Amino acid sequence: MNSRPDPQPELAATQAAALPPAPATLADGTPIPTEQNARGPAASEQPRLAGLASWVPWLWYYAERQLTRFARLLDADNGLSRVLTWLLLAVMLPVSWVVISAPLELWPQTVFSVGTFALALALSRTPSRLLTLALVLMSLLASSRYMYWRITDTVAFDNALDIAFGTGLLMAEFYAFVVLLLGYAQTIWPLQRKPAALPEDMSLWPSIDIFIPTYNEPLSVVRPTTLAALALDWPRDKINVYVLDDGRREEFAQFCAEAGVTHVTRADNRHAKAGNINAALKNTSGEYVAIFDCDHVPTRSFLQLTLGWFLKDPRLAMLQTPHHFFSADPFEKNLKTFKQVPNEGELFYGLVQDGNDLWNATFFCGSCAVIKRGPLLEVGGVAVETVTEDAHTALKLHRLQYNTAYLAVPQAAGLATESLSGHVGQRIRWARGMAQIFRVDNPLFGRGLNLGQRLCYLNAMMHFFYGLPRLVFLTAPLAYLFFEAHVIQAAAAMIAAYSLPHLVHASMANTRMQGKFRHSFWNEVYEAVLAWYIMRPTLVAVINPKLGKFNVTPKGGVIEKEFVDYAIAKPYLILLVANVIGLGFGVVRLGWWNTHELQTVVLNLIWTVYNLIIIGASLAVSLESRQMRNTHRIDMRLPASLRFEGDRTLVCETHDISNAGVGLRVPAGLEVARHTKVSLTLYQDDQECTVSGRVAAWSKDSAGVVLDPMTVAQEAEFVKFTFARADAWVKSWGTARQDAPLQALRDVIVLGAQGIRKILVYASADAGRYLAARPWRKKVDPQ
């Protein structure tokens, strides 16, 4: 019998974070009990009065209790549930249709809008799941009412110019409306799965292979991941670690030999990462495969927290965990919002994947996941038909009616893209791949998927078609300001009366549901930055899905000085110039040309100013900040001590750690010279890890120590004690402040203004240097 791996003291903290005491907390902060095996709402048997409106607590409680019982009846698989479902639809659909289609003039519509605003504002102050659903329903009705009005009352175009611009805007709005509906369906009830326990008898634990694919990444990036994989708490005779080196590099082979892992190469690089993994599948035999991108450092508890679900559900083929990043992405780095504003990917891993899990539609994301070998081989290995091989593989598994799961506990962390150009390239690949799936294996068609799965995949694919609609929104008011084209055939006051409920209710519902993972107005910034670059690849992929190739996202490196990436910023600069000129035209129309329709001019000017703010923020992202460290420092608090020559010891604490150095908090009033040799010991409970180094900096209450080169064995112990701790990433997951729409709007306005100001300063300086370097500016020798 194997001895059970040490669960390690920090594993308890991780499990406590992963298994909060009932009732569990939903994404919107609502307490609600759930059942681990449920794929739908679990009924509450306990009163949930905390936080309910003080003026009618018993009314809210009674309504929630009755609706919860009713939901249980609907969720049951029997004749009564089907009858109740049809009766509910029979009542709701006519009422909804009346609300959506009832024609109202300006003042009745305004009163209706103000009333719904007031009701939504009152409901939003109460942390109740019932009221979250009510806010979503109000948003659906307001948005549907707006789209019905747009289609039936605002398209009586008078000329070809109005038809061209107006139809384009209507199609863009309809696209946004459909994505909104799909998003609500996808995330309305996050499953919030918790870890399942492994059996006490370790002989029942399965064997597993760890795959770390790499191509051109430096060894310094791959080493921590490989050493952390060796530290995984699992029986040694049931785990094997493989570095899949498509670069076929000798230094990697030497490192793998020293570390005791298997270095795997192949004759060619056919099908890139997917082909690399498929080639390794042919020569390995573990019952399960865990895949980590070469920069994703797993924690020691990864397997113990994920494998339990496979033993509990024999049909489970894949379990995904979050992609967590310990470095700032280009948005966070260039806008200085790291750990303050949720990054672009946090919504997906914080909420969307949890929502997918409800519908048994979790996507495989290429890393930080476990896949059962049998089902993977049954679908032919990792998909190679598209450049988003991970999502396509999950789709194939779902078509064979295998289950997938998502565990929202960060058990690995990696490097975010370093530069905006690298970030854009990565998103282009994702967009092209999802468009390819839409074309070659559309989830709306074919066998094997349930309705929920089809809708989740449809929303994932449609999301990446936002390029053209976003550009339409950024230029739509220019159609009027430049050409006097009336893209919406209605008075400006009516447009405001119908559009504001649609926009505000959607904002309120989304803030309620996803406020921890996406702040208001930031979606516009993210999409504006990428819109131009993903528009063409997605449209081309729909026409010819075979075009395009897999590209590796660069990780690691430095940016020595701040600069404007003009190659990336070019579309934003064009949009900036166009909107500024449009603003000038609008001022002229306001004062002289169009005094007969001042409301229309003002509405378009407001829209243009908002677009300028978003464009300005996009320009701010293109201003690349300096990145001088080759290795990223990670916030980590550990008790520590420094031992100097002569056995003098100083008790201190770490505040950040990297592979190359450690930042320390030290007692005030001490002075230590630079380059002083020290021995640094880190402590955790009854464990300790000692490394040597030299003092790089020493101030009043902080110090920096540069670590001496370590042997592979020493580095493995250091990684195990730091980055591979079970609780290494739990405390940094979802730490951004809760969304406050007005605060978010202020932040975006400030960033937009700063972006425009900075780009003007840099562009002026760069233009001056360019002109100064031209040959015609040089003096001509008279001789």
Mark whether 390 is an active-site residue.
Answer: yes
CA dist 413 to 227, 545, 689, Å?
14, 32, 21
pLDDT tens digit sequence for 677-690: 999 999 987 889 99
Task: Decide: helix, strand or coil at residue 617.
Answer: helix
Give pLDDT, residue 588: 93
Give pLDDT, residue 40: 38
In angstroms, the CA 104 to CA 92 distance is 21
Closest by CA to 180, choosing from 221, 148, 246, 136, is 136
Task: Decide: helix, strand or coil at residue 707.
Answer: strand
In angstroms, the CA 478 to CA 321 distance is 44
DSSP state at residue 233 = S
Give pLDDT, residue 29: 43
In angstroms, the CA 488 to CA 152 distance is 11
Q: Where are the beta strands (DSSP E) in 553-676?
A: 563-564, 623-624, 634-635, 639-643, 649-657, 661-665
Whether the bond into 108 is cis, omega within 30 of 0: no
pTM of the model: 0.85
pLDDT tens digit sequence for 742-752: 999 999 999 99
Exposure letters 256-294 (e unless 16+ CB within 10 A, then b): beebebbbbebeeeebbbbbbbbbbbeebebebbbbbbb
Mark whether 77 is an active-site residue.
Answer: no
Residue 695 forms beta bridges with which residues?
705
- Angle made by CA atoms 146, 150, 151, in degrees to the nearest 5: 120
Question: Which residues, given as ranges, of the chain have pLDDT below 50?
Answer: 1-5, 7, 13, 16-17, 19-56, 550, 552, 556, 783
Task: Decide: helix, strand or coil at residue 706.
Answer: strand
Give pLDDT, residue 25: 41
Task: Decide: helix, strand or coil at residue 403.
Answer: strand
**Residues 343 and 250 sit within 8 Å (Cβ to Cβ):** no
CA dist 368 to 212, 320, 493, 525, 768, Å?
10, 6, 51, 28, 48
Tell me phi and psi for residue 346, to 5 degrees. -70, -30
Q: Which of 28, 233, 246, 739 is catalytic?
A: 246
Give pLDDT, residue 1: 41
Q: Which of 162, 233, 245, 390 is catalytic?
A: 390
Q: With the C-alpha atoms ordered 25, 121, 145, 738, is the resulting torsion angle positive or negative? A: negative
